[in-house]
Amino acid sequence: MRFEPLPHAYPFRFADRTVERTGPGAGRVRAVVSAGGRGVSGGIFPGALLGELMAQAALLVSGADPDLGRSGFLAGFSDLTVARPALPGDVLTIDIAVAGRMGPAVKFDASVRDAGGVRVASGSFTVRRGESAPEGRA
């Protein structure tokens, strides 16, 4: 499988490649959960890492958007629902859409589905462009 460039490396690289870009910062990404590395403990890919997967997917589909660029950081989740943890062998599809933008901040909506189309997780999160967090933010 072809991996697109991301700042993230093994074992914290979760999103594999863009399947489709539907607009600036929007599209579909594929990820295959493997048994080794990837922060997997006891064979389970936990919900918090599904959140990180969504953020990496947003970064991948944003690669085609010069406004968004590739530098920035995950500022936080305002919503994250995990229907089930992902397991090794799961082929996940992550749909990403931009919910809104203001200045350096971009909010994304994301959903993760398994190969059968069943929702694994969904959430909304904000990415802030730039090298550092605003004062008072981790």
Does 24 engage in binding with another protein (CB under 8 A)?
A: no
Does 44 engage in binding with another protein (CB under 8 A)?
A: no
- Cβ atoms 72, 107 nearer than 8 A: no
In the three-class reduction of DSSP (H, G, I as helix; E, B as strand; rest coil), residue 65 is classed as coil
Q: Determine the size of the site formed for another protein (CB under 8 A).
A: 18
Does 134 engage in binding with another protein (CB under 8 A)?
A: yes
Is the four-CA dihedral 135, 56, 101, 47 of positive or negative sign?
A: negative
Among 75, 86, 94, 96, binds another protein (CB under 8 A): 75
Least Å distance, CB 57 to another protein, is 19
Q: Per the structure block, which two tokens stand in for 22?
A: 């539907």
Among 37, 89, 104, 115, binds another protein (CB under 8 A): 104
Among 103, 118, 131, 132, binds another protein (CB under 8 A): 103
Rounded Cα distance, 114 and 69, in Å: 28
Among 90, 105, 111, 114, binds another protein (CB under 8 A): 105
CA dihedral 62, 107, 79, 83 (to 10 degrees): -20
Pairing verdict, β 119-129 and 105-113: antiparallel
Residue closer to another protein (CB basis): 12 or 77: 77
Residues at the site binding another protein, with contacts judged by CB under 8 A? 75-76, 78, 99-107, 126, 128, 134-137
